[in-house]
């Protein structure tokens, strides 16, 4: 008598193999459409892909800069005094990068950084930005403060990646701004900005239109001298005194006759 092997396929009365329940269920499973059979794993994989793509896009958006620098401006040796008693120039000249207006939020690539000219925003308060001291965790963009330079203002920059963010230095910069020095020609109180900017070769820099003063260590007296020498001289003067070649007409002296006699004071008259 033949022994039945466990797990073998049973036979029908005619001796032909009989399909078991397990094989029958598997055949029905295989006949279902692909999407129906793998719906759950496909949904899971699709959801993970969407999360990955959205997360990557948000990461790029939050970590990419709103501006770029082709090169970093390198410090030049200090200029010597010019013969004839003319004081030595302060800082170094920089190429003019134009002054085109760009849409708020538009990225700009500057030929060099820190820029002292170039494309900028023309939409308050993004450009020019409010005149104040900006802490190391407050973000400003050159597209904003380049517009301040265009108006003749000065921007003092400090770099935290170049060890320009010590408590002592920040306190000194805050005190310097707190003095709110008036601009040298126009006597305006709101043309100075102090803000963080890491894309430069030294810990500190003062920037006016087309000119940069680098400082390896903070020198507030040097900032004041640079301010007094070059502020108020942007391409958009904020007062007549800032216009190149302007000189106010001297008041006539007492010995010089005036151009026209003063108008006679009206006197009372009696009717004839």
pLDDT of residue 5: 47
Domain spans in the chain, listed from the N-terminal domain onward = 67-76+89-242
Confidence of residue 264 (pLDDT cuts 50, 70, 90): very low
In 3D space, the residue among 222, 196, 216 whose CA is nearest the CA of residue 77 turns out to be 216
pLDDT of residue 261: 40
Task: Kindly report the average pLDDT of the chain as a whole number.
Answer: 80
Q: Report whether the peptide linkage leading into residue 104 is cis, meaning its omega lies within 30 degrees of zero.
A: no
| CB-CB contact of 90 with 113 (8 Å) | no
State which H helix or E strand residue 196 sits in: strand 192-196
Confidence of residue 260 (pLDDT cuts 50, 70, 90): very low
Confidence of residue 112 (pLDDT cuts 50, 70, 90): very high
pLDDT at 2 over 90: no
| CB-CB contact of 157 with 206 (8 Å) | yes
Confidence of residue 200 (pLDDT cuts 50, 70, 90): very high
In 3D space, the residue among 163, 177, 165, 113 whose CA is nearest the CA of residue 142 turns out to be 113
Name the residue with higher pLDDT: 184 or 56.
184
Distance CA 208, CA 227 (A): 8
pLDDT at 259 over 70: no
pLDDT at 24 over 90: no
pLDDT at 240 over 50: yes
């Amino acid at each position: 008598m033949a022994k039945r092997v466990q797990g073998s396929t049973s036979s029908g009365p005619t001796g032909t193999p009989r399909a078991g329940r397990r094989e029958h269920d598997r055949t029905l499973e295989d006949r279902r459409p692909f999407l129906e059979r793998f719906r759950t794993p496909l949904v899971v994989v699709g959801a993970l892909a969407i999360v990955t793509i959205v997360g990557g896009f948000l990461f790029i958006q939050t970590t990419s800069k709103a501006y770029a620098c082709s090169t970093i401006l390198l410090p030049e040796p200090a200029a010597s005094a010019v013969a004839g008693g003319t004081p030595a120039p302060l800082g170094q000249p920089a190429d003019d990068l134009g002054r085109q207006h760009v849409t708020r939020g538009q990225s700009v690539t500057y030929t060099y950084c820190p820029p002292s000219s170039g494309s900028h925003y023309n939409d308050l308060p993004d450009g020019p930005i409010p005149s104040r001291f900006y802490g190391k965790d407050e973000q400003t963009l050159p597209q904003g403060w380049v517009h301040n330079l265009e108006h003749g203002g000065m921007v003092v920059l400090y770099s935290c990646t170049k060890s320009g963010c010590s408590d002592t230095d920040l306190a000194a910069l805050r005190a310097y701004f707190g003095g709110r020095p008036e601009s040298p020609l126009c006597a305006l109180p709101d043309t100075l900005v102090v803000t963080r900017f890491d894309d430069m070769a030294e810990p500190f820099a003062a920037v006016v239109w087309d000119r940069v003063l680098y400082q390896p260590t903070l020198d507030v007296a040097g900032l004041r001298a640079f301010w007094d020498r070059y502020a108020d001289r942007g391409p958009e003067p904020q007062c007549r005194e800032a216009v190149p070649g302007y000189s106010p007409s001297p008041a006539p002296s007492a010995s010089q006759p005036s151009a026209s006699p003063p108008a006679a004071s009206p006197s009372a008259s009696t009717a004839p």
